[in-house]
A and B are shown apart, each in its own frame.
Chain A
Amino acid sequence: MRRWQSDPVLKAEHLTMRFGGLTAVDDVSFQAGRGDITALIGPNGAGKTTVFNCITGFYKPTEGMLILTHPDGSSFPLERLDDHDINSQARVARTFQNIRLFKGMTVLENLMVAQHRMLNRASGFTIGALFGIGGYRAAEKEALDLAREWLHRVGLIPRANTVAGELPYGDQRRLEIARAMCTRPFLLCLDEPAAGLNARETDGLNELLYSIRAEKDIALLLIEHHMSVVMRISDHVIVLDYGKTIADGTPEEVRNDPRVIAAYLGVPDEEVRAVEREVGL
């Protein structure tokens, strides 16, 4: 039994998503192991982001099941939860391909909004804190500490009071990851975290992802185009093409899979020539 099959944090079974006549994801099943970095790769239009959106509740899958299991054994049927409950109850956090920060708010405020659920409950759903009753102050301090810790980890302490929209691109990417982590997730989904980063920033990102994986009970699921990132850091790679799983295994296995090579690089030259000869080119 593979490592990710023994203790999966996320189990997708027969996941299918149709938009009208288009089947974007077709009967995809996979498992993401706890403590693993699982990469979802595939050529453009393979259905990776659709799978992501099903997991995080932005789409409701047409068919199939998505089961998220917590370390304490409780499990959540993601396909039946609302998107905000997927974060607050099932504890799945995500980042976006095109960064979605609260651009007019400061870096620190972005991290505080991420802890809204906890803070709002501590504030007695506003009523208590408005009249100064309850332990809101303590909760706010705790939230500030977590925010400060994450600012430290992504190196943004000096820019805590800067408006998020004014940060350089690489900082915005890292801030978005920090913001997702401030919701204390068990599964962190990253949609192309290395897109638009230079080599040095990519190295920094890899280190950040390693350090997140080293924490207890957290799994990472990422979509990525940079093969260098995927092959270096992931423990488990799932390859999609035209909405179907074409490979599922360790990076080494996937790298040598002829179907993956064909999907990514097209078919070998000899075959192309053979086809050309047949059609008389």
Chain B
Amino acid sequence: MAEPVKSFSHRLQAALLDALLAAYVAFALFCLTLGFKTVDSVGGLTLRSRPVLLAAMVGAVFVGRLLLNWFVWQTDRPLTEPFAKLFTREPLARRDVFVLGAVALLSMLAAAVPSPAARLIAGGMLAFLTVGAVRRAILHFFPNLPYARIFTIAGIAFAVLFPITAYLLDKAFHLRLPLRYLLDLSIVVLTYAMLGSGLNIVVGLAGLLDLGYVAFYAVGAYSFAILAMDFGWSFWMCLPLAGVLAALWGCTVGLPVLRLRGDYLAIVTLAFAEIVRIVLLNWTNVTNGPNGISGITRPTFFGLPFGASGETFSTFFGLRYDPLHAIIFLYYVIFLLVIVTNVITLRLRRLPIGRAWEAMREDEIACRSLGINTTVTKLTAFATGAMFGGFAGAFFATRQGFISPESFTFIESATILAIVVLGGLGSQLGVVLAAIVMIGGFEALRHTQGLKAIFGPDFDPALYRMLLFGIAMVAIMVWRPRGIISSRTPSIMLGRGAPATLAKERRT
């Protein structure tokens, strides 16, 4: 941080001053939000002041800031350094080992204390240290393995095997796993991974800030619903059509809009998404307005429906009817769609069009001086992204069985964009990881009963999950400002076998 202050009194003075300032800011922030509570009493709402709570919070900020200043920011050897070093390949000094060992020992002692809060904190600390140590050991013994590839393959293998294995194990041993919940959550995560992958083409590769991506999602969903309901076409016929129609809408919006750049493009795309939503809301005889469309056709397994009666999937294969079959099938459909999206993106990146997208993100003027028609190139990026959004929309419609304009609000666009930015602009693996963290993590916060140990039995994590989630996102963006995965793989290399690490993304 700041220049280390040498003399003791100077250090103390600077630390105190900074802590006081932080306490003042905390007071200004909390004096109304925490200092007063509205209470529903006989004569209506009244205010009750909570000076002790306020003082405790401000005091905590003061002490915390003072400690941070003293041990981390205004010293030559910050106390956090050993922890940061643990997660690198740098050799550990004796002091680092001593600090880490002391923390580990203290955590073990704390774990023995019969208090759930102490156990939770100690457990978290021990887990953190173990992960760091194991990571270090692996990097030490196998320094040159293609980790990204191993990770991807392991992830795909897990995603393929998880539903079937879990289902069979559950059936065989009567484990009573919450399979339905887990699969539903996985399907939502995969849907967002698909949407993120589509938007990644527009924002991450082509560098066009699109705040209205949800419009294509909506067009896909409504195209699917209307085609399937009014024409009676099957899921597999409507799916590509929904993609094509969304891509067409992408071109329609793109033609007038793509002359704009940056912030202006963002605003206009946002406006177009609102137009789509409002049209859906008001064009009652086609979209059924705010009531939405219900009873949308479910996908079939090569013509075999998933149902309890008639010629169905279960009777054909001689299985006992289980509603989980349909969900497992939906899981594999969206999984396949995510894989197809990413394989196509991977191939597009290595084709001239993908390189032109990335070049356009880097420098549009240079692109034009090299004979690239940037309007057409932008349009292809927009249409490709829209097409994948349309596929995701069609899947969403068939899974829910019901769609209404409510599902396509701005917050969806924002979530998808957050997934792309959090994952690392342009990184496909990063986007999928970010979808898992954002959607899965957000859901997981609902179940963090352990937090009750710290905040008391009245604490309901579901109520605070937005706040915790916000804090987590800020933390990720502070530590990894370019997203979870910030390196870029070159689309072409000269001389095979050259290490990919040569092309580490430049740091800002």
What 0/1 pattern do residues 94 to 136 of A give for CB contact below 8 A with B? 1010001111111011001111110110010010011000001
Instruction: Give CA–CA (A104, B494) in the complex, Å.
Output: 17
Q: Cβ of B504 and Cβ of A163 under 8 Å apart? A: yes
Q: Cβ of B371 and Cβ of A84 under 8 Å apart? A: yes
For A148, what are the chain B residues with a Cβ–Cβ distance below 8 Å?
A: 494
B365, closest chain A residue (CB): A100
For A83, what are the chain B residues with a Cβ–Cβ distance below 8 Å?
A: 368-369
Given A101-B363, A126-B351, check contact A162 B373 (CB 8 Å): no
Most A CB within 10 A of own CB, among B352, B367, B488, B491: B352
* CB contact between A112 and one of B361, B374, B492, B503 (< 8 Å): that residue: B492
Q: How far is the CB of A150 from chain B (nearest CB, A)?
A: 12
Q: Cβ of B366 and Cβ of A102 under 8 Å apart? A: yes
* CB contact between A109 and one of B344, B367, B490 (< 8 Å): that residue: B490
Q: How far is the CB of B483 from chain A (nearest CB, A)?
A: 14
Which secondary structure characterizes the binding site on chain B? helix
* CB contact between A161 and one of B361, B365, B493, B506 (< 8 Å): that residue: B493
Given A109-B355, A161-B494, check contact A117 B504 (CB 8 Å): no
Given A120-B353, A120-B356, check contact A104 B493 (CB 8 Å): no
* CB contact between B362 and one of A105, A130, A183 (< 8 Å): that residue: A105
Tell me the count of chain A residues lying within 8 A, CB to CB, of chain B: 48
Q: How far is the CB of B122 from chain A (nearest CB, A)?
A: 43
* CB contact between B492 and one of A102, A108, A165, A180 (< 8 Å): that residue: A108
Q: Cβ of B504 and Cβ of A130 under 8 Å apart? A: no
A131, closest chain B residue (CB): B347
Is A87 positioned at the interface, with any CB of B under 8 Å from its CB? yes
Q: Cβ of B490 and Cβ of A161 under 8 Å apart? A: yes
Q: Cβ of A105 and Cβ of B358 under 8 Å apart? A: yes
Instruction: Give CA–CA (A96, B370) in the complex, Å.
Output: 12
Is B161 positioned at the interface, with any CB of A under 8 Å from its CB? no
Given A87-B371, A116-B370, A183-B370, check contact A102 B363 (CB 8 Å): yes
Is B287 positioned at the interface, with any CB of A under 8 Å from its CB? no
Is B91 positioned at the interface, with any CB of A under 8 Å from its CB? no
Q: Cβ of A108 and Cβ of B352 under 8 Å apart? A: no
Q: How far is the CB of B74 from chain A (nearest CB, A)?
A: 34
Q: Cβ of B373 and Cβ of A84 under 8 Å apart? A: yes
Most B CB within 10 A of own CB, among A96, A104, A113, A126: A113
For B344, what are the chain A residues with a Cβ–Cβ distance below 8 Å?
A: 130
For A104, what are the chain B residues with a Cβ–Cβ distance below 8 Å?
A: 358, 361-362, 488, 505-506
Most A CB within 10 A of own CB, among B359, B363, B373, B494: B494
Q: How far is the CB of B250 from chain A (nearest CB, A)?
A: 16
For A161, what are the chain B residues with a Cβ–Cβ distance below 8 Å?
A: 490, 493-495, 498, 502-503
Is B348 positioned at the interface, with any CB of A under 8 Å from its CB? yes
* CB contact between A102 and one of B358, B368, B498, B503 (< 8 Å): that residue: B358
For B404, what are the chain A residues with a Cβ–Cβ distance below 8 Å?
A: none
Instruction: Give CA–CA (A106, B362) in the complex, Å.
Output: 12
For B505, what are the chain A residues with a Cβ–Cβ distance below 8 Å?
A: 104, 163
For A129, what are the chain B residues with a Cβ–Cβ distance below 8 Å?
A: 351
Is B380 positioned at the interface, with any CB of A under 8 Å from its CB? yes
Q: Cβ of A126 and Cβ of B362 under 8 Å apart? A: no
B372, closest chain A residue (CB): A116
Instruction: Give CA–CA (A120, B355) in the complex, Å.
Output: 10
Is A88 positioned at the interface, with any CB of B under 8 Å from its CB? yes
Q: Cβ of B490 and Cβ of A183 under 8 Å apart? A: no
Q: How far is the CB of A93 from chain B (nearest CB, A)?
A: 7
Q: Cβ of A93 and Cβ of B369 under 8 Å apart? A: yes
Chain A residues 80 to 95 lying within 8 A of chain B, measured CB to CB, are 82-85, 87-88, 93-94
Instruction: Give CA–CA (A88, B368) in the complex, Å.
Output: 10
B493, closest chain A residue (CB): A161
Q: How far is the CB of B382 from chain A (nearest CB, A)?
A: 14
Instruction: Give CA–CA (A136, B504) in the complex, Å.
Output: 28
Is A166 positioned at the interface, with any CB of B under 8 Å from its CB? yes
Q: Cβ of A84 and Cβ of B372 under 8 Å apart? A: yes
Given A84-B374, A104-B362, A130-B347, check contact A113 B493 (CB 8 Å): no
Q: Cβ of A183 and Cβ of B371 under 8 Å apart? A: yes
Q: Cβ of A103 and Cβ of B503 under 8 Å apart? A: no
Instruction: Give CA–CA (A126, B359) in the complex, Å.
Output: 16
Instruction: Give CA–CA (A102, B365) in the complex, Å.
Output: 10
* CB contact between B369 and one of A87, A119, A136 (< 8 Å): that residue: A87
Is A48 positioned at the interface, with any CB of B under 8 Å from its CB? no
Q: How far is the CB of A60 from chain B (nearest CB, A)?
A: 14
Q: Cβ of A103 and Cβ of B352 under 8 Å apart? A: no
What 0/1 pattern do residues 157 to 169 of A give for CB contact below 8 A with B? 1001111011000
Q: How far is the CB of B261 from chain A (nearest CB, A)?
A: 16
Most B CB within 10 A of own CB, among A93, A103, A105, A136: A105
Instruction: Give CA–CA (A107, B67) in the complex, Å.
Output: 48
For A173, what are the chain B residues with a Cβ–Cβ distance below 8 Å?
A: none
For B494, what are the chain A residues with a Cβ–Cβ distance below 8 Å?
A: 108, 144, 147-148, 151, 157, 160-161
Q: Cβ of A101 and Cβ of B506 under 8 Å apart? A: no
Q: Cβ of B506 and Cβ of A117 under 8 Å apart? A: no
Q: Cβ of B506 and Cβ of A105 under 8 Å apart? A: no
Q: Cβ of B371 and Cβ of A163 under 8 Å apart? A: no
Chain B residues 349 to 401 lying within 8 A of chain A, measured CB to CB, are 351-353, 355-356, 358-359, 361-363, 365-374, 380
For A147, what are the chain B residues with a Cβ–Cβ distance below 8 Å?
A: 494
For B355, what are the chain A residues with a Cβ–Cβ distance below 8 Å?
A: 105, 109, 112-113, 116
What 0/1 pattern do residues 208 to 227 of B give for CB contact below 8 A with A? 00000000000000000000
Instruction: Give CA–CA (A9, B358) in the complex, Å.
Output: 33
Q: How far is the CB of A90 from chain B (nearest CB, A)?
A: 10
Chain A residues 55 to 82 lying within 8 A of chain B, measured CB to CB, are 56-58, 82
Is A174 positioned at the interface, with any CB of B under 8 Å from its CB? no
* CB contact between B506 and one of A85, A130, A165 (< 8 Å): that residue: A165
* Cβ contacts A to B, 23 pairs, < 8 Å: A56-B369, A84-B368, A84-B372, A84-B373, A85-B371, A87-B368, A103-B506, A104-B505, A104-B506, A108-B493, A109-B355, A109-B358, A109-B491, A113-B367, A113-B370, A114-B370, A115-B352, A144-B492, A160-B494, A161-B493, A161-B494, A163-B505, A166-B506
Q: Which residues of B contact A (CB under 8 A)?
A: 344, 347-348, 351-353, 355-356, 358-359, 361-363, 365-374, 380, 488, 490-495, 498, 502-506
Q: Which residues of A contact B (CB under 8 A)?
A: 56-58, 82-85, 87-88, 93-94, 96, 100-106, 108-109, 112-117, 119-120, 123, 126, 129-130, 136, 144, 147-148, 151, 157, 160-163, 165-166, 179-180, 183
